[in-house]
Amino acid sequence: MSDLVFDAVSVRYGGRRGLTAVDRVGLTVPSGQVVGLVGESGSGKSTLARAAVGLSPISAGRVLLGGVDVRKLPRRPPLQMVFQDPYSSLDPRMSIGESITEAIPRGVLPGRAARRDEVARLLELVNLDPERSGHLPGRLSGGQRQRVALARALAGRPEVLIADEITSALDVSVQGAVLNLVRSLQRRMGLSMLFISHNLAVIRYLSDIVAVMYLGRIVEVGPAEQVLTDPQHPYTRDLLAAAPSATTSLLDIGEASETADAEPADPHDPPGGCRYHTRCPVGPLVRAGRELCLQADPADTVPIKGVAHRRHSAACHFSENESHQLTIPRGASAP
Ligand SMILES: Nc1ncnc2c1ncn2[C@@H]1O[C@H](COP(=O)(O)OP(=O)(O)OP(=O)(O)O)[C@@H](O)[C@H]1O
Ligand code: SF4
Ligand SMILES: [Mg+2]
């Protein structure tokens, strides 16, 4: 098992008039740990995740797994992604057994019987009755389809699982069960996970590390408990303030709403200096003497190479405690 490292990754869509959806992001998913990625709609979470599996175009930087550029890994790389919509992720004409068989890497299990046994094992792993392998996905509920999508992802025996809002499209009544399953699979199999969700209670439940994204950049990262109970970036504080309380049950959590009242910035033309300055409740539009926020982007202090985020860091010139500002932790080795 190895770390997944986003090393100064940028993703640009379109030509000159396009936008940089992910801008020089450094982030590490340490082996066997869960990194929860949060941020409002359009901040670039999916684009970053998709860059790791080759679904969005990396225009600068690299994504490394165990030090190897993922673009140089074999065709079925040890990274798998599960998406939000369990209805479109399965071919309606294929039985669930066929769908899972298709995801077993070629040559790994020669022989029909071995593949059938593997499908049964995978279905049991996601708490589905192997007897259902002949069923078409149309006969399954959303939660059951998402379990099949997980079984398909696990068929490749991945080291890293990337989950993008995998419970957001499900009935709240089944979200908790799917999350419990994901957590238990992650622990049992020692998977590394990048887990994206709008829902901060879900992030809190699953994550070892939390990273917060705003307008294409990581603005805060660190151990989950520290980021969620002692946020240092004004944007993270706004996100948490807008979310239901930490004690809210998983079953009645809503989506975290937009943070500050001001309009979100235009991603085609992001503000200079700190990108959050147009909305920041403690920024230059509100406080005198904070011109620095207009001049320098504190996210530029994000290490160029990904580092393990054992230390809590925030990309704000005026974060309460200077020791929280983003720096390369001592002893962290760049890949
Ligand atoms: N294929 C694409 N072509 C052009 N622009 C895109 C494409 N995909 C995403 N974008 C733009 O890139 C930015 C980041 O989008 P992305 O989907 O990564 O955000 P997100 O954080 O995942 O949002 P959400 O929470 O709504 O899923 C947005 O401004 C979006 O409009
Ligand atoms: S750098 Fe300035 S504008 Fe940006 S978050 Fe900090 S105080 Fe706000
Ligand atoms: Mg998304």
DSSP string, 237-255: HHHHHHSPPTTS-GGG---
Residues 73 and 207 in one domain: yes
Residues 13 and 140 in one domain: no
In whole angstroms, give the CA distance from residue 77 to residue 56: 16
Residues 204 and 121 in one domain: no
Nearest Cα residue to 304 out of 282, 335, 330, 277:
335
Identify which of 212, 238, 274 to mutate to test ligand 2's pocket (most ligand atoms within 8 A of the CB): 274
Question: Does the residue 112 lie in any domain?
Answer: yes
Residues 318 and 226 in one domain: yes
For residue 50, the ligand 1 atom closest to its alpha carbon is 18
For residue 315 and ligand 2, the question of a CB distance below 6 A is answered with no
For residue 56 and ligand 1, the question of a CB distance below 6 A is answered with no
Residues 151 and 135 in one domain: yes
Residues 110 and 251 in one domain: no
Residues 138 and 231 in one domain: no
Q: Which domain holds residue 283?
A: 4-78+160-173+190-322
Which stretches of the chain are assigned E, i.e. beta strand?
Answer: 4-13, 19-29, 34-38, 58-65, 68-69, 79-82, 160-164, 192-196, 209-214, 217-223, 313-314
Question: Does the residue 150 lie in any domain?
Answer: yes
**Residue 24 near residue 217, CB atoms below 8 Å:** yes
- Give 299: exposed, middle or buried? Use CB within 10 Å, 0-12, 13-18, 19+: buried
Residues 223 and 258 in one domain: yes
For residue 55 and ligand 1, the question of a CB distance below 6 A is answered with no
Residues 40 and 112 in one domain: no
pLDDT digits (tens, 9 = 90+) for 13-52: 998 889 999 999 999 999 999 999 999 999 999 999 999 9
- Of the ligands numbered here, which is closest to the C-alpha atom of 315? 2
Question: Does the residue 53 lie in any domain?
Answer: yes
Q: SS3 of 19, please? A: strand
pLDDT digits (tens, 9 = 90+) for 99-123: 999 999 887 777 889 999 999 999 9
Question: Does the residue 181 lie in any domain?
Answer: no
Total H helices, total E strands in the chain: 9, 11
For residue 216 and ligand 1, the question of a CB distance below 6 A is answered with no
How much is the pTM? Answer: 0.91
**Residue 133 near residue 123, CB atoms below 8 Å:** yes
Residues 71 and 99 in one domain: no
Q: What is the DSSP letter of 274?
A: S
Question: Does the residue 180 lie in any domain?
Answer: no
pLDDT digits (tens, 9 = 90+) for 172-222: 889 999 999 999 999 999 999 999 998 999 999 999 999 999 999 999 999
- The closest residue, in CA terms, to atom 6 on ligand 1 is 13
Question: Does the residue 266 lie in any domain?
Answer: yes
